[in-house]
Amino acid sequence: MEAEIEMRNGYLSQAAERRLMLFSGRGYPELAEKIADRLDIHLGEVELRQFANGEMYARYLESIRGSDVFIVQSLCDPVNQNLMELLIMIDAAKRASAANIVAVIPWYAYSRQDRKTKPREPITARLVANMIQTAGADRVMTMDLHVGQIEGFFNFPVDHLTAMHTFVDYYIDQGFKGAGDAVVVAPDTGEVKQAKLLADHLGLPWAILSKTRRGPGESEITHVIGEVEGRRAILIDDIIATGGTLCNAAERLIREGATEIYAAATHGEFSGSAYERLEESVIREIVVTDTLPLKADRPTSKIRTLTIAPILANTIRNVFLGESVSAVFMGENQLF
């Protein structure tokens, strides 16, 4: 009898073991594969398809009952299709009795619509947060939100990760640390904090460009605050969209006496004619992370991509094990 109880308890203990399961939407499956490789697990099987009328469908092809389900979906082009697919995958996981559902969203679309600047405008970043929460997610994991206050749009934990240490490591490897002929430049006042952080860890001075925005993707640099003459400049931003702001900033820095222009941004959206514009610009190199895939058949000779898969994989592991997320960034450079 005691042996039978012990055996039964053993089965119950095994049944109670939590499982980490990783699934990918169709937004950026290549990144999900990299994350799975880092975690030494296989991507879970899920059927994703679109009906003739455009409606999306998702069905998990294996049991996820009682599992911690992580759904990787970058909200890249086509944005609305990928967003809807994510919501449906979350709902399907909830109805399949997943214990916890974490939406891993490297690029959070609509993040630039975070406040009202004119009458009768929406706050779409909040709307997207509401939809993700209503669908049934328990947590969101994302990279370098356009503005940090978007975290407050959610009523559950948000792991707001940063690619800054990736850029620090890269530019140290490129010989920029402590270089007497280099400067970090914020292309607008919104990026001052990031520029100062990068400059501090590279041991470089920093400068600011003041701009006036005429419309979406259209801006004019009015002032340069700081010393850039005779220096190699690193422009640091969170998003490269049409590339207009970046190209205008680079041209102004050259006119101010900068010798070479480099650029870095977490999210390479590259919309419209951005690829061609950047290819023809005075910028020597553009460094982005792989939160978004590069578009095929576009000029990319100046673009270098750094992977954030290790950051996401380590964060997923720590969240699953109930360990500190900030510990992921407590490496050699001690950024935080």
Before 78, cis peptide (omega within 30)? yes
From the candidates 116, 118, 211, 295, which is the catalytic residue? 211
- 116 flagged as catalytic: no
What's the Cα-to-Cα distance from 188 to each of 12, 156, 179, 182, 321, rounded to whole Å? 58, 31, 23, 19, 39
Owner of token pair 């900033």:
249
The CA-CA-CA angle for residues 278, 282, 283, to 5°, reads 65
Q: How far is CA 327 from the centre of its chain?
A: 18
Q: What separation in angstroms does the CA of 334 have from each of 42, 169, 221?
A: 32, 12, 34
Q: Catalogue the long-range contacts made by 188-191 (C-beta closer than 8 Å, 24 or more residues apart).
A: 188/219, 188/245, 191/236, 191/237, 191/238
Give the C-alpha separation, 63 to 44, whole Å: 10
How far is the C-alpha of 124 from the C-alpha of 244, rounded, in Å? 24
- Which of 68, 159, 63 has the alpha carbon at shortest distance from 108? 159
Tell me the backbone φ, ψ of residue 55, rounded to 5 degrees: -70, 145
Q: Please state the φ and ψ torsions of residue 121, each to the nearest 5 degrees.
A: -95, 155
State how far the Cα of 205 lies from the Cα of 36, in Å rounded to an integer.
39
State the pairing for strand pair 46-50/56-60: antiparallel
Active-site residues, by number, are 211
